[in-house]
Amino acid sequence: MTSVLVDCCLYDWFQDGKNVVQRYAEAHPPKPGTDEGYLLQACLQAKYRVLVVQSAVTGAGLYCQDVLSNEGLFLMDLALSQSAKHANAAFATRTIPLGEYWMTSGAGLPINSKKAALDALARIAGGKPQLLEGPGSVALLIVRACLAAGAADHVSYANLAAEPGKSRRCPQS
């Protein structure tokens, strides 16, 4: 669950009203028009979501509906296109916009307990995230609910190798 902890530390803990990503962007502004600048701007627009799978495009990603904002989006993620492809599968993750699609921050958690998810959503809707206050409170509430329901037991990472017969580019020494 290191990835979940790191994701929360980067985006959901605030100091002087700013998270780590925002403070980094201010302290290290990238050159305009660079890939670094594009990705940093995308990270500054990251959004925590509770997603329900609508359909999958195997080998590419998932069409999802965000329960919190009722927004539809395409989530580009090869592994999720294979593992979470069943309609109505749900998971919580931070998304980062890249043009017409989104990617995850790599720290998603499955919603494996409908009761825990509904309880967390009810607290959010009621404006009472309990002991959590501030800009990151909604994400932290959802992460804690998922972890308390055992979501970490359902997370694994796979090594997605190149297709047989296709060469992989290796750096030249």
pLDDT of residue 171: 47
Report how far residue 23's alpha carbon sits from residue 54's, in angstroms, rounded to the nearest whole number.
Answer: 36
Beta carbons within 8 Å of 167's beta carbon, 6+ residues apart: none
Q: For the chain, how big is the Rg over CA atoms in Å?
A: 17
pLDDT of residue 172: 47
Site of tokens 């609508």:
54
Comparing CA positions, the residue from 97, 119, 98, 139 lying closest to residue 4 is: 139
Angle, CA 69 vertex, CA 68 and CA 74 arms, to 5°: 105
pLDDT of residue 143: 78
User: Strands (DSSP E) along 7-116, which ranges?
Assistant: 47-57, 61-66, 72-76, 90-98, 101-104, 109-110
pLDDT digits (tens, 9 = 90+) for 120-166: 667 666 665 444 455 667 788 777 777 777 766 666 555 555 555 55
pLDDT digits (tens, 9 = 90+) for 5-31: 888 889 998 999 999 999 999 999 999
pLDDT digits (tens, 9 = 90+) for 91-128: 889 999 999 999 998 778 888 767 766 776 676 666 65
What residue ranges do the domains of the chain occupy?
47-154
Q: In this model, does residue 4 exceed pLDDT 70?
A: yes
**Domain 47-154: what homologous superfamily?**
Nucleic acid-binding proteins (2.40.50.140)
To the question of pTM greater than 0.85 for the whole model, the response is: no
Q: 138 with 69: CB under 8 angstroms?
A: no
| Alpha carbons within 13 A on the beta-carbon side of 117 | 18
pLDDT of residue 84: 74
pLDDT digits (tens, 9 = 90+) for 46-79: 999 989 999 999 899 999 999 889 999 999 998 8
User: Strands (DSSP E) along 59-142, which ranges?
Assistant: 61-66, 72-76, 90-98, 101-104, 109-110
